[in-house]
Amino acid sequence: MAQTHSHVPAASHPSPKAVLQLLKPITWFPPMWAYACGAVASGAGMGERWLPIALGIVLAGPLLCGTSQAVNDWFDRHVDAINEPDRVIPSGRMPGQWGLFVAIAMSILSMAIAALLGPLVFGAALVGLAMAWGYSAPPFRFKQNGWLGNGVVGLSYETLPWITAATAALGHAPSGMTIMVAILYGLGAHGILTLNDFKSIKGDHEMGVDTLPVLHGPRNAARIACLVMATTQLGVILLLAQAGLTTGAALVGLVLVLQVLCMLRFLRDPEGRAVWYSAVGVGLYVSGMMAAAIALRSMPLATATVG
């Protein structure tokens, strides 16, 4: 007897759930947290500025970070078909060119909200959007090289929102100390992003995406990631100690020690424990960020300089 198959026509447009999956809410936390750190580190009073600060956090997370995720998934759809075929675009839940349309719409919405927050935030958001598109889209496609691509994302996710928030809270550029700490945490995020590359080694190798695990092998890439994260935090500790912020330096030092203990376990099985370390080690990393921000807040604005 011939077997019949029911045919379900492909959807012509994505569901709201598919759009949310494309924007990946789980990725919004780092830039939102960095923006909050910048606002705290500024030392400015926030009682009357809660609305622009809240809008800035939304801009950093759901809007700009969500846009970057949509852009990345659109231009990575062929790689994802190999690495993660269940993702929203290769699986067909985001049909046709809707992934690109969502990325463009989110870019426009991000700039509209940024414009409401003033020219400084608008300019920073424009830089962030340029990095987001340049990271994934040709002809730049920074992600083709793990050293460059991860550096761009680290600075976009940590340094840029931190400095933007501090600038928006103060109405002018923050102290040299704040800028240096924000840069160090952005550079350290390069290691965090390398951890994320472990899950897609096979597809990245086939598609010629030179992540650090592809370029140097999983074990060496893990060593590089740990070294980058540890040395940048050590730099933060030295800066805080030099400025007399000993409590902040001690707290960041404590979370660094805990991370090093986790790193030793991660390095014994990089591919098997990359996801575990991303959950545990990164949580400690961002805790240190807030500890540093609180320490900077306690420094008088007039003396919050480097040197």
**Is CATH 2.60.40 what the domain over 16-303 is classified as, yes or no?**
no
Q: What is the DSSP string of 210-278?
A: B-HHHHH-HHHHHHHHHHHHHHHHHHHHHHHHHTT-HHHHHHHHHHHHHHHHHHHHHHHSHHHHHHHHH
**100-122 mean pLDDT:** 94
Instruction: Work out the pLDDT band at 3, boundaries 50, 70, 90.
Output: very low
Mean pLDDT of the chain: 90
Residue corresponding to tokens 């067909």: 92
- For the cut 60, the answer to whether the pLDDT of residue 22 exceeds it is yes
**240-263 mean pLDDT:** 97
Q: Cα-flanking dihedrals φ and ψ of residue 145, to 5°? A: -120, 120
**220-228 mean pLDDT:** 97
pLDDT at 120: 85
pLDDT at 299: 77
Helices (H), the chain: 16-23, 29-41, 50-58, 66-75, 77-83, 98-116, 119-136, 146-154, 160-170, 176-196, 201-207, 212-216, 218-242, 246-268, 270-297
**184-192 mean pLDDT:** 96
For a pLDDT cut of 70, what percent of the chain falls above it?
92
Of 133, 132, 154, 135, residue with least CA distance to 144: 135
pLDDT at 54: 87
pLDDT tens-digit readout, 261-300: 999 999 999 999 999 999 999 999 999 999 999 999 987 6
Instruction: Work out the pLDDT band at 253, boundaries 50, 70, 90.
Output: very high
**3-26 mean pLDDT:** 76
Per-domain residue ranges for the chain? 16-303
pLDDT at 173: 82
Please tell me the least confidently modeled range out of 84-88, 165-169, 221-225: 165-169
Of 160, 134, 184, 196, residue with least CA distance to 60: 160
- For the cut 50, the answer to whether the pLDDT of residue 302 exceeds it is no
Question: What pTM, to 2 d.p., does this model score?
Answer: 0.86
Show the tokens assigned to 156. 């976009």
pLDDT tens-digit readout, 50-106: 788 889 999 999 999 999 999 999 999 988 888 889 999 999 999 999 999 999 999
Instruction: Work out the pLDDT band at 43, boundaries 50, 70, 90.
Output: confident
pLDDT at 89: 96
Residue corresponding to tokens 């996710």: 157
Q: Cα–Cα distance between 49 and 294 in angstroms, integer?
A: 18
- For the cut 70, the answer to whether the pLDDT of residue 48 exceeds it is no
